[in-house]
């Protein structure tokens, strides 16, 4: 498997997990049960789950008015969009691919 394939699988799984946690947290909020900490949700967003978070926020109407959570999530989403838009530039894309390959080799030994 190529590094980009592994990275895309990572993003898919992470975003599905984040979307699921937004659903779970919304259910817990409705039934007044234990909630997922905001720091956990934002951490998942920061490491790549911002698309799942924004999707969950829209579908479940969850955490849409909660500040500073909303502003933090939007900032993370803009950061990710900027990063992925930067992948269009050939020099930046080559740098990111080299970093991903080195990271994968480091993780896998």
Q: Which of 48, 78, 83, 53 is nearest to 66 (CA)?
A: 53
pLDDT in tens, 62-106: 888 889 989 999 999 999 988 887 777 888 878 878 888 999 899
Residue 15: how many other CB atoms lie within 10 Å: 21
DSSP for residue 48: I
Residues 54 and 21: their CA atoms lie apart, in Å, by 12
Q: Which of 34, 46, 43, 41 is nearest to 19 (CA)?
A: 41
Range of the domain at 29: 3-108
Greatest Cα pair distance in the chain: 50
What is the structure's pLDDT at 73? 93
Residues 88 and 93: their CA atoms lie apart, in Å, by 7
- CB within 8 A of 64, min separation 6: which ones? 57, 70
Q: Which residue has the higher pLDDT, 2 or 55?
A: 55
pLDDT in tens, 22-66: 999 999 999 999 999 999 999 999 999 999 999 999 999 888 888
What is the structure's pLDDT at 56? 92
Number of domains in the chain: 1
């Amino acid at each position: 498997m190529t590094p980009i394939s592994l990275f895309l699988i990572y993003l898919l799984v992470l975003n599905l997990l984040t979307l699921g946690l937004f659903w779970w947290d919304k259910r817990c909020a409705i039934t007044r049960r234990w909630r997922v900490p905001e720091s956990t949700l934002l951490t998942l967003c920061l490491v790549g789950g911002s698309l799942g978070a924004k999707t969950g926020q829209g579908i479940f109407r969850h955490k849409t008015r909660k500040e500073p959570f909303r502003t933090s999530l939007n900032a993370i989403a803009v950061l990710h969009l900027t990063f992925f838009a930067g992948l269009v530039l050939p020099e930046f894309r080559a740098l990111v691919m080299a970093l991903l390959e080195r990271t994968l080799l480091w993780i896998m030994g």
